Structure 1
Amino acid sequence: MNRTIKQFYVMAMLCLVIASCKKENQLQPADNSTLSSKSLNAVNATGDDGNLLLGNPSGAGGVSLPNNYLMTKTYYTLSYSRDRGTPNWVSWHIQASDLGTTSRTDGFKADTSLPSGWYQVQNSSYSGSGFDRGHNCPSGDRTASTDSNAATFLMTNMMPQAPNNNQQTWANLENYTRSLVKAGSEVYVICGSYGQGGTGSLGGTTKTIDNGKVTVPSNIWKIIVVLADGSNDLSRITASTRVIAVNTPNINSINTDWKTYRTSVKNIETATGYNFLSSLPTAVQTALKQKVDNL
């Protein structure tokens, strides 16, 4: 084989190796932990009803972030904490078509989609604890179909919630939110919890349940962005858009009027370390985060 043929053979082999490597790299799934908050928002938010349209508050990502693990569901998106056994936050959108006549399915169940080896909180894990299996994304926000309602009963959507907080104060806020949608608005909601130690129906402060596998939060919060029903939602959010931020103590002696616990988005950011509304222009973010709703 002369030198020219050898050189041609070597060059051909190199081209094949390079092409193979490129193809292999294209087929490798992206690790969400390497994506920025805005990149994750682009991946997960599709159109006006994207669950992460307003941003990824904690920069949640892949399995390399076990206490900030991004889980993209059809009807909501969340950041899950493996060690706490609860979501850090859950984000979703409500429009008129999400509200129907489907009855509450009540099918609490473990989330088998968690990574292999992670503890799966069970439907019985809260039994006898004095705390409710408190929804982050409520059953009542997903009544258009049996599938959408059933999806809210995964235990990765639950937090240990003082019964009066869950059944009264929080229920009143959820009902009010849905009344806005029924009156012609659509809303973007982010709900979560932080801290450790709540007071349930048994009295006293409880830090964990389920043999230490589930942390009882000290506080439960929610942020609601309210828009008139329409399209191109992100571009319609301005410094004058209504934002409702609420932060409640996780106690059974709570005031049933959720308005008592209104605060600013900025205060919730300070308590959690998250960055909310990050998809919006900086000037709009700054204005909205300072507001305390008074309607």
Structure 2
Amino acid sequence: MFVSKKLLFLPIALLLILTVGCTILLPRQFASNPHLAFGNPSNASNIDPNNYLIEKPQYVLSYNRDKGIPNWVSWELNQSWLGEAPRSNNFRPDDTLPEDWYRVTPNDYTRSGFDKGHMIPSADRSNNPDNNAATFLMTNIIPQAPDNNQGYWARLEDYERTLANEGYELHIISGVYGQKGTIARGKVSIPARIFKIIVATTSERSINDSTKIIAVDTPNINGNRETNWTEFLTSIDAIEKNTGYNFLSNLSPSLQNLVESKVASVIEVKPKSSSHKN
């Protein structure tokens, strides 16, 4: 159970957040990891095996041991993370998990009918080979319906990189909820829904009531590959209701409630030609 946002975060906001008018500026030292600049949605830690915090240089995630997939993955994205590094394509178990836990392997997805779907996509970490390779750890992977993964989800991923190339500083949280079966003899759960939240700022980790925030909530199904991802626009509040998570928890309660209630409009940018690298 999550504690009320106002009760839990008001003292933190008063002590640690610098408020200028309606703008909240989050200093770099506010979060111990830049990929958690706006908060830890589920209060993940190293105590709960099904809400297990894993911090990597390239991203942060909450892992679910019993489901064999991440609950959510959080990362920053700007031009510095993008480049020409080749796609690693080396899917592999994550050896940082506790030794007595089952470590999902690429073979667990063989003939499952599902793609090995990245939460943080390969192309979001294309500035060097090591960073790209980190996205292929199986703790960053979910069973994703091919029409979702290769269709509207891929176009959403291309769009977020277009924003980064336009100079936006992005903070992205992607995750899952619900279940519609398993693969790998019950070791890996198939999520029913896949969501993504994108906070797009023009200055590093600053947010106000006009900050662009995009939230989508998609079904993990086949059959609608050509659907535009904008058909799945929603609000952060709606995703919180469905997941029980508390997003953007490092903001003041008043600003958090304001921006989370909005259903975002798309930021107009000039599309760039690029091949999708999930």
Match of 2:32 in 1: 44
Residues 247-289 of structure 1 show CA distances to partners (whole Å, capped at 9, x for unaligned) of 0000011353100000000000000000000001111101111
Residue 185 of structure 1 aligns to which amino acid in structure 2? Y
Unaligned runs of 5+ residues in structure 2 are 1-7, 17-28, 267-278
Match of 2:118 in 1: 135
What pairs with 1:1-295 in structure 2 (closer than 5 Å)? Answer: 42=30, 44-45=32-33, 50-62=34-46, 64-197=47-180, 207-228=181-202, 230-231=203-204, 233=205, 236-254=206-224, 255-295=226-266
Q: Distance in 2 between matches of 1:142 and 1:263?
A: 26
SS of structure 1 residue aligned to 2:148: helix
1:123 to partner: Cα distance: 1.4
1:102 to partner: Cα distance: 0.7
Q: Distance in 2 between matches of 1:212 and 1:42?
A: 40
Note if contact 1:44-1:72 (Cα within 8 Å) is conserved in structure 2. Answer: no
The worse-fitting range, judged by mean Cα deviation, of 255-264 and 106-115 is 255-264
Point out which structure has higher relative CO (alpha carbons under 8 A, 6+ apart): 2
Relative distance call for 1:189 and 1:253 in structure 2 (3 A) is same
Note if contact 1:278-1:285 (Cα within 8 Å) is conserved in structure 2. Answer: yes
Note if contact 1:244-1:293 (Cα within 8 Å) is conserved in structure 2. Answer: yes
Asked which structure has the greater CA Rg, the reply is: 1
Note if contact 2:75-2:120 (Cα within 8 Å) is conserved in structure 1. Answer: yes
1:42 to partner: Cα distance: 4.8
1:294 to partner: Cα distance: 1.9
For these two proteins, the number of residue pairs brought into alignment is 241
Residues 89-145 of structure 1 show CA distances to partners (whole Å, capped at 9, x for unaligned) of 000000111000111110000001101210000011111000000000000100000
Note if contact 1:239-1:285 (Cα within 8 Å) is conserved in structure 2. Answer: no
1:43 to partner: Cα distance: 5.8
SS of structure 1 residue aligned to 2:99: coil
Identity of paired residues, percent? Answer: 49
Residues 161-188 of structure 1 show CA distances to partners (whole Å, capped at 9, x for unaligned) of 0001001111000000000111111100
Which contiguous aligned blocks of 4+ residues in structure 1 show a shift greater than 2 angstroms? 36-39, 41-45
Q: TM-score, normalized by length of structure 1?
A: 0.79
Note if contact 1:110-1:120 (Cα within 8 Å) is conserved in structure 2. Answer: yes
Q: In angstroms, what is the RMSD of aligned CA positions?
A: 1.6
Residues 37-76 of structure 1 show CA distances to partners (whole Å, capped at 9, x for unaligned) of 979x95632xxxx0000100000011x3000000001100
Q: Distance in 2 between matches of 1:135 and 1:103?
A: 16
Residues 191-225 of structure 1 show CA distances to partners (whole Å, capped at 9, x for unaligned) of 0001011xxxxxxxxx0000000000000000000
SS of structure 1 residue aligned to 2:175: strand
**Bigger share in helix:** 1
Residue 265 of structure 2 aligns to which amino acid in structure 1? N
Residue 74 of structure 1 aligns to which amino acid in structure 2? P
